[in-house]
């Protein structure tokens, strides 16, 4: 099963992981998409966008119109959300303008510290 971990890590920490993989030639066990802060993660992953990811999870490449149909939303609104997810690196664009969320499972990981 292809799993992606959406995580909160400082940019320096994320870069350390990249450098380690580069030097060793060994990739991480699962794909990771990092956000600098929890606030940024929640700004990108709104409730509507999370619903969209659930509908696209494991579906392969689909059109924005099909994505809108699956979540029962307006095409223009879904287009806006797809653009935000593309810009954040969460979705990929493929042939014929279709978009894909190339994972079958999502893990969200972050730690809340006491003030």
At 29, is the pLDDT very low, low, confident or very high (cuts 50, 70, 90)? low
Which has the closest alpha carbon to 9: 30, 44, 31, 40?
A: 40
User: Does residue 114 fall inside a structural domain?
Assistant: no
Q: Please report, for the domain that includes residue 48, its CATH number.
A: 1.10.10.10
Range of the domain at 94: 3-109
pLDDT tens digits for 66-92? 999 999 999 999 999 999 999 998 999
User: Does residue 75 fall inside a structural domain?
Assistant: yes
Q: How many CB atoms lie within 10 A of CB 98?
A: 15
Higher-scoring residue by pLDDT: 64, 111: 64
**Per-residue pLDDT at 1 exceeds 70:** no
User: Does residue 78 fall inside a structural domain?
Assistant: yes
Domain count, the chain: 1
**Per-residue pLDDT at 115 exceeds 80:** no
Residue 31 in contact with residue 6, Cβ under 8 Å? no
Q: What is the mean pLDDT of the chain?
A: 86
pLDDT of residue 28: 62
User: Does residue 92 fall inside a structural domain?
Assistant: yes
Bridge partners of 5, per DSSP, are 32, 107
User: Does residue 115 fall inside a structural domain?
Assistant: no
In whole angstroms, give the CA distance from residue 7 to residue 41.
Answer: 8
User: Does residue 43 fall inside a structural domain?
Assistant: yes
User: Does residue 89 fall inside a structural domain?
Assistant: yes
User: Does residue 34 fall inside a structural domain?
Assistant: yes
């Amino acid at each position: 099963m292809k799993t992606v971990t959406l995580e909160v890590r400082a940019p320096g920490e994320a870069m350390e992981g990249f450098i380690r993989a580069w030097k060793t030639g060994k990739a991480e066990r699962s794909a990771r998409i990092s956000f600098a802060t929890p606030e940024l993660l929640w700004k990108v992953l709104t409730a509507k966008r999370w619903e969209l990811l659930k509908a696209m999870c494991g579906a392969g490449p689909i059109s924005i119109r099909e994505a809108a149909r699956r979540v029962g939303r307006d095409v223009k609104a879904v287009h806006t959300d797809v653009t935000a997810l593309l810009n954040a690196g969460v979705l990929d664009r493929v042939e014929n303008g279709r978009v894909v969320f190339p994972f079958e499972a999502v893990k969200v990981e972050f730690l809340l510290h006491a003030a």
